[in-house]
Amino acid sequence: MKKDYEEQIQKLLARMTVEEKIGQLQQCGPSLVGAFDVSFEELLNMMFDGRITQEEFNRLMGTAQQDFHEEDLRAGKIGSYNGIGDSATANRLQKIAVEETRLGIPLLFGYDVIHGFRTVTPIPLAESCAWEPELWERTGRVAAEEATAAGIHMTFAPMVDVAKDARWGRVSEGAGEDVLLNGLYGAAKVRGFQGDDLSRENAMAACLKHFAAYGAVEAGQDYNRVDMSMQRLWEEYMPAYKACVDAGARAVMPAFNDINGVPCTVNSWLMRDVLRERWGFDGLVISDSNAIAECVNHGIAEDKKDAAKQAILAGMDMDMSSNSYISCLKELVESGEVPEQILDEAAADVLRIKFELGLFDDPYQTDEERESHAMLKEESRALAREAAVKSIVLLKNENKVLPLKADAKIGLFGSLASDKEQMTGAWAIGAKPEDCVSILEACRMRGIPFQYSENLTDAEKIAADSDVLVAAIGEMKEESGEAASRADITLSPEHMALIEGLLATGKPVVAVLFNGRPLAIPKLAQKVPAIVEAWHLGVEAGNAVLDVLYGDVNPSGKLTVTFPAAAGQCPMYYAHINTGRPGGKSKFTSKYLDAPVEPLYPFGYGLSYTAYSYGDLEVKKEDEALLVSVSVTNTGDRDGQETAQCYVQDRAAKRVRPVRQLKAFEKVSLKAGETKTVSFRIPFSELCYYDWDMKEVPCEGFLKVYVGGDCQAALTGEICL
């Protein structure tokens, strides 16, 4: 039951000056200062555009220290920090806030704890392939245990931006292309981060992001425009954010992008009408980094002052690092352009989350003792390994190359097999590369007979000595995440050359992919007999990969994103509409001349070391819901876990509907030869959609149901609602 702090909030507000209220809305981070008289951002730009050399940049960085703006803090001009990741610094700053400011209002520390803190777990896109909300919650809980021990009160996560374009680098940060999965993933993370009592010292406020539809940036180009129908926005994007609000997330971060021409940062329809009025959200709304000031670039604000005015009137409570509020709001309030009531509401939202986090009662919720004991516990590593193994997707396994025999001698190739740092993936802010287990290290630890080479040097000799060759290829961690869109999502020439060289030896080749997005790998898929999708798996990457390669674990991961055959097919996703001329053999159908109609690997797909069959599909209805049941049989000789998926298609609706939409799934464990009946109950309310006039309409008439192990499931049922 959420406690009501309104009386304390109003009492405190009544004592605050306008400046102190504005100070609560200011989030800043430590800035780098040194023997350079420009900002760190400008220094970076000078290096990028060649105005200074890399050597000069490095020299200047050698003089850099962090400026925590203590004087502004003492003056009550800072309410929150971003980017503080250790308890000593957090407590030092907190002490100034509590003991040296007029009202002693504690600070709120926010940071990007996206997939673990020190115990880095698989990137969200990887972990989503486990199709296991209970796992997602458990890893969220460990992240909160470690991050709060380091002084962090709020994480800028979960990110639940539905992403259908593999060119967008931030596809790595969410749960893929499906809105149901993103919502379940996000809600599980909110529960894991926040626990059942936000005032506890190991509870971390969740800040869902990026609100809204950031994953729909045009052409997969980061920070680009988002323009879509309201029908599409509400059917394919908004439910994921709402699931996080319904799960109790206490903060929301509007997205950098516009929606149909109005940037989310100044979009009152989004922040007030939808978030607060319709969804009843009463938490904190914090901008993305520098986003308020960037409304000038968007062309929606004349200057910083205009941007500040629009943002706070639209419902943005806190300004992350643009200094728009701290520099412009006082004048806006004094002139009456911004009513003080609006300022009070924003300040109240900041005070509320601080009360809910227990910061007024105990501003020092951690110390170095707790921090040192919290990190990288054995059980945390074990959980990271479990999550990593469950995130791995077996894409190809011809002639049962996998699992490897226990005594198999392997030739291990590729820099990614030894590069520990790359295993963490994007946004691993608390990671220490030395904590990560590479494949190379895992081989040593398991006593596997292997030889290693970063490249084709000695490939012939090593291959002659090996039973199988394992090539670690894919993407560096910087090639996905923020500001990492790629126009070409194929493997690098170096990695393809490595594969060709290994294939030339005549020994079987297993490709292990480390990547943060779907890759267009038709050549690899055609040439090598086995492909393991290992994403960026975190601290236990090497052990998890070997667990699967040697069959200690039977892989069960299922793709939550479509793998296209070419970047030119992007955005490519399973829940597409049929069109009047669905792609097929005939020329005059919807397709490309130079690419296949079908994806390379479809949504929901993933192989196992055993096999499964589906049968006895039954589709019935009761007054409020669709009832679907199916039998799933493990037809192979190994125990395994299969994620049975249920898709629905409205065959004749008031607007064209996707050919399939995931409406339910269940991950079942099946012993070799075992059969289980899996049942799904899908409320009719989850089948609604919007008509031309944006009226919500029920799914009615002729409905098709598809059940199986991926979105191309052939087992079909029909029903008339």
Q: Which is nearer to ligand GLC, 217 or 648 (CB)?
A: 217
Position 482 contacts ligand GLC (CB under 6 A): yes
Torsion region of 605: left, alpha or beta (phi above 0 gives left; psi -120 to 50 gives alpha): beta
Position 258 contacts ligand GLC (CB under 6 A): no
Q: Which is nearer to ligand GLC, 429 or 469 (CB)?
A: 429
Pick one of 20, 146, 235, 288: the residue that binds ligand GLC (CB under 6 A). 288
- DSSP E strands in 21-169: the ranges are 26-28, 31-33, 65-67, 80-82, 108-111, 154-155
How far apart are CB 209 and ligand GLC at their closest, in Å?
6
How far apart are CB 277 and ligand GLC at their closest, in Å?
25
* SS3 letters across 309-361: HHHHHHCCCEEECCCHHHHHHHHHHHCCCCCHHHHHHHHHHHHHHHHHCCCCC
Of all residues in the shown chain, the one whose CB is closest to ligand GLC is: 156
Start-to-end CA span in the chain (Å): 39
Pick one of 77, 189, 209, 396: the residue that binds ligand GLC (CB under 6 A). 209
How far apart are CB 435 and ligand GLC at their closest, in Å?
22
Phi, psi of 139 (to 5 degrees): -70, -30
How far apart are CB 575 and ligand GLC at their closest, in Å?
25
Site mask, ligand GLC, residues 113-152, x = CB under 6 A? ----------------------------------------
How far apart are CB 214 and ligand GLC at their closest, in Å?
8
Rounded distance, CA 267 to CA 608, Å? 46
How far apart are CB 289 and ligand GLC at their closest, in Å?
4
Position 201 contacts ligand GLC (CB under 6 A): no
Q: State how far Cα 50 lies from the chain centre.
A: 33
Phi, psi of 147 (to 5 degrees): -65, -40
Q: Which is nearer to ligand GLC, 289 or 634 (CB)?
A: 289
CB 348 within 8 A of CB 9: yes
Cis status of the peptide bond prior to 564, with omega within 30 of 0? no
Rounded distance, CA 22 to CA 344, Å? 9
Q: Which is nearer to ligand GLC, 275 or 565 (CB)?
A: 275
Site mask, ligand GLC, residues 94-113, x = CB under 6 A? ------------------x-
Tokens of 538: 């975190």
| Bridge partner residues of 719 (DSSP) | 703
Q: Which is nearer to ligand GLC, 86 or 700 (CB)?
A: 86
DSSP 8-state symbol, 577: B
CB 356 within 8 A of CB 349: no
How far apart are CB 721 and ligand GLC at their closest, in Å?
40
Strands 640-650 and 702-708: antiparallel
How far apart are CB 240 and ligand GLC at their closest, in Å?
15
How far apart are CB 12 and ligand GLC at their closest, in Å?
27
CA angle 244, 247, 253 (to 5 degrees): 35
Cα Rg of the chain (Å, integer): 26
Would you tell me how many other CB atoms lie within 10 Å of the CB of residue 336? 8
**Catalytic residue, candidates 288, 306, 349, 419:** 288
Cis status of the peptide bond prior to 599, with omega within 30 of 0? no
CB 81 within 8 A of CB 110: yes
Q: Which is nearer to ligand GLC, 172 or 422 (CB)?
A: 172
Q: Which is nearer to ligand GLC, 150 or 713 (CB)?
A: 150
Position 289 contacts ligand GLC (CB under 6 A): yes
How far apart are CB 29 and ligand GLC at their closest, in Å?
8
HSE-up of 201 (CA within 13 Å, CB side)?
15
Site mask, ligand GLC, residues 148-177, x = CB under 6 A? --------x---------------------
DSSP 8-state symbol, 693: T
DSSP 8-state symbol, 505: T
639 part of the active site:
no
Helix 54-62 and helix 40-48, axial crossing angle in degrees, nearest 10: 160
Q: Which is nearer to ligand GLC, 257 or 560 (CB)?
A: 257
Q: Which is nearer to ligand GLC, 150 or 392 (CB)?
A: 150
Q: Which is nearer to ligand GLC, 209 or 354 (CB)?
A: 209
How far apart are CB 682 and ligand GLC at their closest, in Å?
33
Would you tell me how many other CB atoms lie within 10 Å of the CB of residue 585? 7
Q: Which is nearer to ligand GLC, 83 or 195 (CB)?
A: 83
Number of residues that bind ligand GLC (CB under 6 A): 7
Q: Which of 259, 149, 260, 170 is nearest to 215 (CA)?
A: 170
Burial status of residue 578 (CB atoms within 10 A of its CB: 0-12, 13-18, 19 or more) = middle
Position 80 contacts ligand GLC (CB under 6 A): no
Rounded distance, CA 255 to CA 24, Å? 21
Query: Known catalytic residues?
Result: 288
Q: Which residues bind ligand GLC (CB under 6 A)?
A: 82, 112, 156, 209, 288-289, 482
